[in-house]
Amino acid sequence: MRNGKSKTYEVIIVGGGPAGLTAGLYTSRSRFQTLLIERGLFGGQMTTTDLIENYPGFPQGITGEELSRLMEEQAKRFGLETVSDEVMEVALEGDLKRVRMYELTYYCEALIICTGTEYRKLGAPGEIEFAGKGVSYCSTCDGAFFQDRQIVVVGGGDSALTEALFLTKFAKEVTVIHRRDQFRGTKIYQERADASPKIKFLLNSVVQEIKGDAVVRSVVVKNVKTGETKEFEADGAFIFVGISPRTQFLKGLIQVDEAGYILTSANCETSEKGIFAAGDCRKQLLRQITTAVGDGATAAFAVEKYLEAKE
> Who contacts 274 (Cβ-Cβ below 8 Å, separation ≥6)?
95, 97, 109, 110, 111, 306
Rg (CA), the chain: 21
User: Measured between alpha carbons, how far is 218 from 208 in angstroms, rounded to an integer?
Assistant: 11
Bridge-based pairing state of the strands 243-245 and 117-119: antiparallel
What is the pLDDT at residue 44?
A: 87
The CATH superfamily label for domain 7-119+243-310 reads FAD/NAD(P)-binding domain (3.50.50.60)
> Who contacts 299 (Cβ-Cβ below 8 Å, separation ≥6)?
19, 23, 112, 114, 267, 268, 276, 277, 278
Of the candidates 173, 174, 179, the one whose C-alpha atom is nearest the C-alpha of residue 221 is 179
Q: Edge-to-edge, what's the strand order for the sheet holding 236-239?
A: 135-136, 236-239, 150-154, 173-177, 199-202
What is the pLDDT at residue 2?
A: 44
Spell out the domain ranges in the chain.
7-119+243-310, 135-239
Which stretches in the chain have pLDDT values below 50? 1-4
CATH architecture of 135-239: 3-Layer(bba) Sandwich (3.50)
What is the pLDDT at residue 3?
A: 45
User: Measured between alpha carbons, how far is 158 from 192 in angstroms, rounded to an integer?
Assistant: 12
User: Measured between alpha carbons, how far is 83 from 24 in angstroms, rounded to an integer?
Assistant: 13
Per-residue CA distances from 10 to 36, 107, 292 (Å): 12, 8, 22
Cα–Cα–Cα angle for 138, 144, 145, rounded to 5 degrees: 90
Domains 7-119+243-310 and 135-239 alike in fold: yes
Q: In this predicted model, what pLDDT tens digit does every residue of 118-160 receive, in sequence order?
A: 888 999 999 999 988 999 988 878 888 899 999 999 999 988 9
Catalytic residues: 138, 141-142
